[in-house]
Amino acid sequence: MGPIETDADRLLETVDGSLIAVGDVVTYHILEAGRAPDVALVDERTKRSAIEDEIRETVAAETHLEAVNPPAEISADVIRALVEAIARDEPTTILVEGEEDLVALPAIVAAPEGASVVYGQPDEGMVHVQVTDDHRTEMRALLERFEGDTERFWSLLEGE
């Protein structure tokens, strides 16, 4: 979806606007580089294993919202939390019980134009997506192929 970066400082130089971080390790590196993401989604796991204590203490120190999202799904609960977090003026961390990986997809759709969505690519680095209408269109098409109540999904994501 975007370039892969291994250096958070270099990645942050290209961020212009709001920043949504998906994943514990990504959020940790962004925080360590001196920037609090506007929205961070964490689940206290990386590659399906518990994260190190230092990372957990750093990324979950300021949990503002909680959501349940089973692995390999995108739940209504996590979409509600995402929409609420994006609307807030202060940085917001969402602690996900389950798995947050797929939430990068609706985050790209819900993020404002020009925002950055950063998610982890295991063993490679951080993928940086600067949100454009083309990205939103691509994500909408992909999300339409998911099983489930897509009509309800879109109404939740669009805040209706």
Binding-site residues sit at 24-26, 43, 100, 123
What dihedral do alpha carbons 77, 79, 81, 83 form, nearest 10°? -150
For the chain, strand residue ranges (E) read 4-5, 19-22, 39-42, 45-46, 49-50, 63-69, 92-98, 116-121, 125-130
Distance in angstroms (rounded) separating the CA atoms of residues 39 and 52: 21
Residues 117, 121, 124: CA angle, nearest 5 degrees = 125
Which residues are annotated binding-site positions for GTP?
24-26, 43, 100, 123
